[in-house]
Chains A and B, each alone.
Chain A
């Protein structure tokens, strides 16, 4: 069983739609990261959170430590949001990331 499960694997939506990407994990964590990988391959860290909720612009990340679940939301989605979104928990014992397989998001104009 994978330590990190993301859903959906692929998501296509229309511009303006509210997007939700889910992540479930099985390990104990010190923090959970959400990252964005652009079509060219570059990786950008979006959020690092260990409890509650964080908001940055149109992006919102939430985490429920007890349920070992996190969600990434995008409000008013835009074609430039098209990318792969990756959930990566960081175990309590060290700071490495355990990478999810990613959710490929396509926003159509």
Chain B
């Protein structure tokens, strides 16, 4: 069964460093999402991406964040200068949309720890 994959599973970085979280969505999906979950809190929407551009973003997704689909398979989330409060689990998701289902398929997550 197709699945969404994410790398790395755990990333430790120092405050102020740039990190790139990588996701490989399901191959025929059209809509891509990043969510985050701070430990002990609920999941929060960050950004959605469709047709090679951001379609929606939350207040959390400020200028420090960017997303990119550099090739036909990868979908990345970059945090330019990490802060302690960026420590969280980051989930990537994809959905087919259109004539496909809008059911979202989630990757296993990347745990980001900023020290």
Chain A residues in the interface with B (C-beta under 8 A): 30-31, 33, 35, 37, 41-45, 48, 86, 88, 90, 94-102
Contacts and interface: CB of A to CB of B under 8 A. Distances in A.
Interface of B: 31, 33, 35, 37, 42-45, 48, 55-56, 89, 91, 95, 97, 101-106, 108-109, 111
A95 B97 contact: yes
Contact of B101 (A44, A48, A97): A48
Interface SS, B side: strand
A37 B93 CA distance: 14
B31 A43 contact: no
Contacts of A98: 45
Top 5 nearest A-B pairs (CB, nearest first) are: A43-B106, A99-B43, A48-B103, A101-B42, A96-B45
Contacts of B35: 97, 99
B104 A41 contact: no
B42 A45 contact: no
Given A41-B109, A95-B95, A96-B56, A48 B102 contact: yes
B42 A43 contact: no
Given A41-B89, A41-B109, A95-B95, 12 more contacts: A33-B104, A42-B106, A43-B109, A44-B106, A48-B102, A48-B103, A94-B55, A95-B48, A95-B102, A97-B35, A99-B43, A99-B45
> Which interface residue of B101, B103, B111 has the most chain A CB atoms within 10 A?
B103
27 contacts: A30-B102, A31-B102, A35-B106, A37-B43, A41-B37, A41-B108, A41-B111, A42-B106, A42-B108, A43-B43, A43-B106, A45-B105, A45-B106, A48-B104, A86-B42, A86-B43, A90-B102, A94-B55, A95-B102, A96-B33, A96-B45, A97-B33, A99-B35, A99-B43, A99-B44, A99-B45, A101-B42
